[in-house]
A and B are shown apart, each in its own frame.
Chain A
Amino acid sequence: MIELKNTTKLYNDVIGVNDICLNLQAGTYGLLGPNGSGKTTLINLILGQLKPTIGSVTLFGVNPWKKSKLLRRVGLCPSVEVNYPRATGLEWVTYMVQLHGFRFTAAEKKAKEALEFVGLTHAMNRPMRNYSLGMRQRAKIGQAVAHDPDLLILDEPFNGLDPIGRHEMSDFLKSWASQGKGLILASHILHEVEAINPSFLLISGGRLLASGSPAEVRNILADTPYELTMRTSAPKQLATLLIEHCEIESVRFTSKTEILFSTRSAAQLFKIIPELIHQHQISITEIRSTDDSLNTLFSMLMKLHRGELLQGGRS
């Protein structure tokens, strides 16, 4: 489906992506990386919006920079906001479908179907300036899927969505993936992508640091310290119990009721917590994961990449 051969993209003296080699067959992929890691540049290279400085890119076996016709097979939901305040959702999506070569009547029919698919039928005749962030996000998804593409590319689709919206987005992506069509999901939040169960592409500093199945990435994650903040009425008791029963790297009391744990065995920790609070009648009011785990993972991968860290261990 997508092939990149030693692809490098330079913006003058800034590196967008750096010597990436990829061969992706049709399937679901999670493109993970911190902000500014080169995800959008990689997507734009795949779509032929940018020309590689070095190397080559092919999409469905064709150079996308030269053959824009193949974009008919791709649906893109970019991370940027829709900026047509006066247009209604239906007008905008119809126009977007028309640009795929459909006549107005056919485009409007497809737009209505897509907006129904994303649950926006009730608001499709309202100007988009009155849409909430979640509704605009749905309209963006609508314009990406309306022409029934073979490959759907979503850049940070969870941005700005509330918990219900995130859940609905996950459900939608799962149903799309189950149709056997191509899906690339770019995000900087690991657990959101993980819910779709894709193959991972981990990118940072413009480099592809690792790729593989969820199991393979979990193996990498297994060595990554995982930080968890808990709010409880008995912080000292809980800390003692967790240290006794689990491999805890460090414990820090951040306030009278809050403790920050760092562990390399997150799975073990999650398994033991319910048992301990049940046995010892400890009340936990909040469990919060700092999303630093992903940053830690990338930092570790960068060190591995530079040879500063031995695989599976510490430096």
Chain B
Amino acid sequence: MRNILQNAFATCLFEIRSSFTVQRTSVSLVLALFPPVMLGLLILGARLSRNGISNSIFQDFTSLLTITLIALVSLLSLILWTTPNVSAELEGKSWVFIASRPGGRLSIFLGKYFAACSVSFGICIIAISLCTLLIDSQIPNEDAGRFWISLCGIFFLACLVYGGIFSLLGTLFIKRAMTFAVGFVIGSDIIMGSVPGVLMNKFSIRYHLQEISLQWLGWFLPGSSEEGYRLVFGEGYSVTVHILIILGVTLATLSLGAWSIVNREYITAHEV
């Protein structure tokens, strides 16, 4: 086990070092800056219109927008980094070098997962920090620190669990892993997670992250009440249970992915 983690860590470092091309760094920067830029434009628009939006609504709305935009970029980053975990090695013909090492397959799977989580969480931290600063610069709030920490915690969990799911999809579907990942997000988190069924939406990752957000950040959705939300989505569990569910799903998907990558034949085109 120590060897596997040691090799995975080596792969993670090698992956991050050799992947930071101008192109990839630019993509990561664009992703990190997209939420604060969008938020900045929105704030500018609101200031220019001078409609007299109340501070409370303004803060709730910008917080919600921040979460939505960061969720979008973190998912995009994770999809870009994790889903090609096997296909990139097969296409780049480097698979054979890694797979012919003891535990090489596991190392590449876990190493790329760690690299994806690190980079995506890094993007999230930059975006969260800039957005928090932006909101705080408009309406100074003593809870800004708590907001920052809570969001970092939520997106850390999100990176872990979605990284695991997308890594698993990368080992199962070599050619269309990205499509399947986008399909999963739309099917599970957008459609299933929004279905007003008490049981069904609990199977989506979004439900658990949403529950943690509500308990950590409090109710801040403008123009609605928590009672109405509970009527549709049902009562949640404690934060610990939601975190345990998320960690459980992460562990399960990583185990399945590890089993799949070790026990599957990956055939490169030049072999046939």
A-B contacts, 14 of them at CB < 8 A, read A49-B99, A69-B102, A71-B101, A78-B96, A78-B97, A83-B92, A84-B18, A95-B10, A99-B7, A99-B103, A101-B7, A101-B102, A103-B6, A104-B10
Q: Is the Cβ of B267 less than 8 Å from the Cβ of A50?
A: yes
Q: Is the Cβ of A68 less than 8 Å from the Cβ of B10?
A: no
Q: Is the Cβ of B96 less than 8 Å from the Cβ of A49?
A: yes
Give the residues in chain A near B11, CB-CB below 8 Å: 95, 99
B50 contacts the other chain (Cβ, under 8 Å)? no
Q: Is the Cβ of A80 less than 8 Å from the Cβ of B99?
A: no
B142 contacts the other chain (Cβ, under 8 Å)? no
Which of A69, A80, A98 touches B96 (beta carbons < 8 Å)? Answer: A80
- Write the nearest CB–CB distance from B272 to chain A, whole angstroms: 5
- Tally inter-chain residue pairs, CB-CB below 8 A: 88
How many Å lie between the Cα of A103 and that of B10 in the bound state? 9
Give per-residue flags for A62-80: 1 if the beta carbon is below 8 A from chain B beta carbons, else 0: 0000001111101010111
How many Å lie between the Cα of A44 and that of B99 in the bound state? 10
- Write the nearest CB–CB distance from A128 to chain B, whole angstroms: 10
Find the B residue at minimum CB distance from A79: B270
Give the residues in chain A near B143, CB-CB below 8 Å: none
Number of interface residues of B (CB under 8 A): 31
| A residues in contact (CB < 8 Å) with B | 11, 14, 16, 40-41, 44, 47, 49-51, 68-72, 74, 76, 78-84, 86-87, 91, 95-96, 98-101, 103-104, 143
Give the residues in chain A near B271, CB-CB below 8 Å: 11, 16, 40-41, 44
The secondary-structure label for the interface of chain B is helix
- Write the nearest CB–CB distance from B87 to chain A, whole angstroms: 14
How many Å lie between the Cα of A80 and that of B6 in the bound state? 27
Give the residues in chain A near B265, CB-CB below 8 Å: 49-51
B3 contacts the other chain (Cβ, under 8 Å)? yes
Which of B21, B92, B93, B101 touches A86 (beta carbons < 8 Å)? Answer: B21
Q: Is the Cβ of A99 less than 8 Å from the Cβ of B272?
A: no
How many Å lie between the Cα of A96 and that of B104 in the bound state? 9
Give the residues in chain A near B97, CB-CB below 8 Å: 76, 78, 82, 96, 143
Give the residues in chain B near A87, CB-CB below 8 Å: 14, 17-18
Q: Is the Cβ of A82 less than 8 Å from the Cβ of B94?
A: yes
Give the residues in chain A near B96, CB-CB below 8 Å: 49, 76, 78, 80
Which of A51, A71, A98 touches B100 (beta carbons < 8 Å)? Answer: A71
Q: Is the Cβ of B270 less than 8 Å from the Cβ of A100?
A: no
Give the residues in chain B near A86, CB-CB below 8 Å: 17-18, 21
Q: Is the Cβ of B94 less than 8 Å from the Cβ of A99?
A: no
B201 contacts the other chain (Cβ, under 8 Å)? no
Give per-residue flags for B77-117: 1 if the beta carbon is below 8 A from chain A beta carbons, else 0: 00000000000000011101111111111010000000000
Q: Is the Cβ of B100 less than 8 Å from the Cβ of A49?
A: yes
Known pairs A16-B272, A80-B93; A100 contacts B101 (CB<8 A) = yes
How many Å lie between the Cα of A49 and that of B100 in the bound state? 7
Give the residues in chain A near B93, CB-CB below 8 Å: 80-81, 83
Give the residues in chain B near A103, CB-CB below 8 Å: 6
Give the residues in chain B near A51, CB-CB below 8 Å: 265
How many Å lie between the Cα of A86 and that of B22 in the bound state? 11
How many Å lie between the Cα of A99 and that of B105 in the bound state? 10
How many Å lie between the Cα of A117 and that of B3 in the bound state? 27
Give the residues in chain B near A98, CB-CB below 8 Å: 6-7, 10
How many Å lie between the Cα of A68 and that of B99 in the bound state? 9
Q: Is the Cβ of B270 less than 8 Å from the Cβ of A99?
A: no
Give per-residue flags for B233-272: 1 if the beta carbon is below 8 A from chain A beta carbons, else 0: 0000000000000000000000000000010011110111
Interface centre among A14, A69, A95, A103 (most CB of B within 10 A): A95
Find the B residue at minimum CB distance from A143: B97
Find the A residue at minimum CB distance from B272: A11
Give the residues in chain A near B3, CB-CB below 8 Å: 101
Find the B residue at minimum CB distance from A127: B18
How many Å lie between the Cα of A80 and that of B271 in the bound state? 11
Q: Is the Cβ of B17 less than 8 Å from the Cβ of A91?
A: yes
